[in-house]
């Protein structure tokens, strides 16, 4: 089964303009997959977050297992254009 949601360039502009007007930046994105969590080629090349250093969280199985699946969540950080690197959230991410 496949499902793809695409935010077009007008939508991205509106998101970023709205956040900019609020003095905020788009620094993280979250999405889910029907199966295992990983960053697909589409995820790499058509992200909503384009800020270097931005984070991407992928949740497996349409998030049906909630936080019970925490160990199967996958985190990535954007290092450059389409260069998402897997990170260990326990070490790299501090939630405040």
Residue list 42-61, contact with Zn ion (CB under 5 A): 43
Q: Name the minimum Å distance from CB 63 to Zn ion.
A: 12
Per DSSP, the three-state class of 69 is helix
Diameter of the chain measured on Cα atoms: 39
Q: Name the minimum Å distance from CB 24 to Zn ion.
A: 24
Residue list 5-44, contact with Zn ion (CB under 5 A): 40, 43
CA dist., res. 4 & res. 60, Å (int): 15
Per DSSP, the three-state class of 75 is strand
> How many residues contact Zn ion, by CB under 5 A?
2
Write out the residues near Zn ion by the rule CB under 5 A.
40, 43
């Amino acid at each position: 089964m496949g499902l793809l949601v695409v935010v077009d360039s007008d939508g991205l502009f509106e998101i970023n303009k709205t956040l900019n007007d609020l003095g905020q930046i788009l620094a993280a994105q979250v999405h889910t997959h029907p199966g295992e969590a990983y960053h697909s080629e589409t995820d790499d090349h058509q992200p909503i977050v384009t800020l270097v250093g931005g984070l991407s969280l992928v949740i497996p199985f349409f998030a049906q297992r909630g936080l019970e699946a925490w160990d199967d969540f996958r985190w990535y950080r954007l290092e450059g254009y389409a260069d998402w690197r897997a990170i260990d959230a326990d070490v790299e991410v501090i939630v405040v």
